[in-house]
């Protein structure tokens, strides 16, 4: 591992999130370079700015320069790699997200999309989330992240794969270990609140809770429920190769 290599650090909770500060610490001995959104960008998915330009502010803290970007998490990674960093990063790390990125939910995640962008650009990339609320067990995170980074940098990540990691919010003594998982089927249970503005006009606000589904065997949801760190490899090739064959057989009937 190139100990003087850069780790591009970003998130979707914004540059001043405590999760980002912990991640910055946890990636050492890699040299963290923060390129993070100026404010919360939850549920932006893999949005990038094409119609609007992005701006960057430089903030020096303890002699180190953080970059604060007006764009999305994916913009941060792209701009970091293409413009701001003076050499390519050895790792792109996104998080620590305050909340889960599990099951179908991760399709909306700005945290995951930042790591996805890292993979698109060809770098080992990881998205890390802390599952739980209330008292946050940062010491567990500080113990887990170095393991994940060693795994990610040594295993030989294919260029179209990223790691999606979810850490249960428990003390280190209650953490039961690590599981390689698959993305579960859990989806948000959601509806819209219908409200009226001061002028009496209607607007809609999405309200959702993570749907409790029986945790499927081998899934990311099951792992964190059982107090294991979930390490799930995600790929950029979304093709459903199984269903491809079904379609192939049916096609001739319809043309």
Per CB under 8 A, contacts with its own copies among 81-140 are: 82-83, 104, 106-108, 113, 116, 120
Least Cβ distance, residue 215 to its own copies (angstroms): 15
Residue 1 tokens, joined = 């591992």
209 binds its own copies, rule: CB under 8 A: no
Interaction between residue 60 and its own copies (CB under 8 A): no
Q: How far apart are CA 160 and CA 165, in angstroms?
A: 17
Q: Which of 88, 172, 206, 214 binds its own copies (CB under 8 A)?
A: 206
Using alpha carbons, select from 121, 136, 222 the residue that is nearest to residue 179: 222
227 touches its own copies (CB under 8 A): no
Q: Give least dist CB 62 to its own copies, A.
A: 25
C-beta of residue 43 within 8 angstroms of C-beta of residue 97: no
With CB under 8 A as the contact rule, the residue among 53, 63, 198, 200 that binds its own copies is 53
Binding pattern for the stretch 3-42 against its own copies, x by CB under 8 A and - elsewhere: -------------------------------------x-x
Give the DSSP per-residue string, 59-119: EEETTEEEEEESS-HHHHHHHIIIII-SS--SEEEEEEEES---GGGGGG-HHHHHHHHHH
Taking the CA atoms of 219, 224, 226 and 230 in sequence, report the sign of the dihedral they define. Answer: positive
Please state, in angstroms and rounded to a whole number, the distance separating the CA atoms of residues 179 and 69. Answer: 34
1 binds its own copies (CB under 8 A): no
* Site membership for its own copies, residue 173 (CB under 8 A): no
Segment lying near its own copies (by CB under 8 A), choices 3-11, 15-23, 132-140, 227-235: 227-235
């Amino acid at each position: 591992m190139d100990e003087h290599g850069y780790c591009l650090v970003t998130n979707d909770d914004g540059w001043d999130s405590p999760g980002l500060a912990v991640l910055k610490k946890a990636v050492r001995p890699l040299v963290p370079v923060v390129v993070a959104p100026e404010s919360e960008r939850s549920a932006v998915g893999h949005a990038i700015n094409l119609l609007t330009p992005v701006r960057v502010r430089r903030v020096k803290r303890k002699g180190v320069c953080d970059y604060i970007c007006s764009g999305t998490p994916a913009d941060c990674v792209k701009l970091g790699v293409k413009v701001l960093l003076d050499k390519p990063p050895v790792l792109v790390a996104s998080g620590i997200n305050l909340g889960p990125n599990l099951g179908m939910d991760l399709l909306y995640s700005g945290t995951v999309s930042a790591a996805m962008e890292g993979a698109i650009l060809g770098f080992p990339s990881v998205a890390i989330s802390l599952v739980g609320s209330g008292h946050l067990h940062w010491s567990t995170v500080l113990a887990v992240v170095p393991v994940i980074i060693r795994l990610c940098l040594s295993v030989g990540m294919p260029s179209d794969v990223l790691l999606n990691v979810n850490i249960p919010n428990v003390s280190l003594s209650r953490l039961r270990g690590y599981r390689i998982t698959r993305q579960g089927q859990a989806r948000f249970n959601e509806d819209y609140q219908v409200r009226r503005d001061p002028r009496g006009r209607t607007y809609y606000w999405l309200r959702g809770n993570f749907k409790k589904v029986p945790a499927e065997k081998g899934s990311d949801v099951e792992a964190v429920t059982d107090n294991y760190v979930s390490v799930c490899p995600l790929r950029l090739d979304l093709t459903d190769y199984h269903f491809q064959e079904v379609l192939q057989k049916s096609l001739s009937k319809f043309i």
